[in-house]
């Protein structure tokens, strides 16, 4: 992940019902991984959920957004799972990493 | 938050000791809010922690990084709290928001 790349920040507040959410969430994570241009995924949840996927280009993000199975999941997200969400498409300008010396 | 702005994605894996982490974390969140160019903050934690702060400009991010109290916290982070972290400075290119119709 040295070249220019992009992050999609998905910040969300769920409602209380599962209605197949856990399964779909897992399926979408797997499906995303198989898309061209996919670079990685990070996710954490407590009061809000934050999921970030990383992509090689804006084109790969557009194609993933338009994927039919993903579109069905997006529709279910709006009708059944989320009270609120926000998606930010970001260009990663710089990065730093720290690992504890061993 | 309509104009061009930036996101700082801080992804981390903690070690198991607190050593003043919870207090410092709260203090840094408050201190960040008082900095010029600060726009917002989102955070979630389970297996990993993801904290995202939003800023008006790269200059405001640089100044926050160089803030002396924040630098002391960064040093403690490396020596006491984090096994690993990664910081990505990102330019927000586009955004979408969804709220359940009431």
What is the pLDDT at residue B101?
A: 83
Closest CA of chain B from A31, distance in Å? 22
Measure Cα distances from B54 to A60, B15, B67 in Å.
25, 26, 16
pLDDT score recorded for residue B39: 97
CA gap A40, A53 in Å, rounded = 6
Average pLDDT, integer, range A43-67:
96
Q: Which of A45, A87, A93 sits opposite B46 (nearest CB)?
A: A45
Average pLDDT over residues A23-49: 95
Bridging pattern class, strands A38-45 and A49-55: antiparallel
CB-CB neighbors (< 8 A) of B97 in chain A: 84-87
Output the pLDDT for position B23: 93
Percent of chain B topping pLDDT 70: 98
Residues in chain B within 8 Å Cβ distance of A29 = none
pLDDT of residue B1 exceeding 70: no
Contact B55, B40 (CB under 8 A): no
Model's pTM, two decimal places?
Answer: 0.93
What is the interface pTM, i.e. ipTM, of the complex?
0.92
Residues of A in Cβ contact (< 8 Å) with B100: 15, 78, 82-84
Q: Is B97 on the interface with A (CB under 8 A)?
A: yes
Q: Which domains does chain A have, with CATH numbers?
A: 5-92 (3.30.70.100)
pLDDT at A1 over 70: no
Mutate: best of A3, A44, A93, partner B, most B CBs <10 A: A44
- The arithmetic mean of pLDDT across residues B85-92, rounded, is 97
Q: Is B15 on the interface with A (CB under 8 A)?
A: yes
Taking an 8 Å cut-off on Cβ atoms, the answer to whether B50 and A47 are in contact is: no
Q: What mean pLDDT do residues A26-30 have?
A: 94
How many CB pairs below 8 A link A and B?
109
């Amino acid at each position: 992940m040295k070249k220019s790349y992009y992050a999609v920040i998905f910040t969300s507040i769920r409602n209380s019902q599962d209605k197949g959410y856990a399964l779909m969430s897992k399926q979408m994570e797997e499906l995303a991984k198989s898309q061209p241009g996919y670079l990685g995924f990070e996710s954490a949840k407590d009061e809000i959920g934050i999921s970030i996927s990383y992509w090689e280009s804006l084109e790969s993000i557009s194609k993933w957004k338009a994927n039919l199975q993903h579109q069905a999941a997006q529709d279910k997200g709006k009708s059944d799972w989320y009270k609120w969400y926000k998606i930010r498409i970001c260009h990663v300008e710089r990065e730093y990493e720290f690992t504890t010396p061993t």
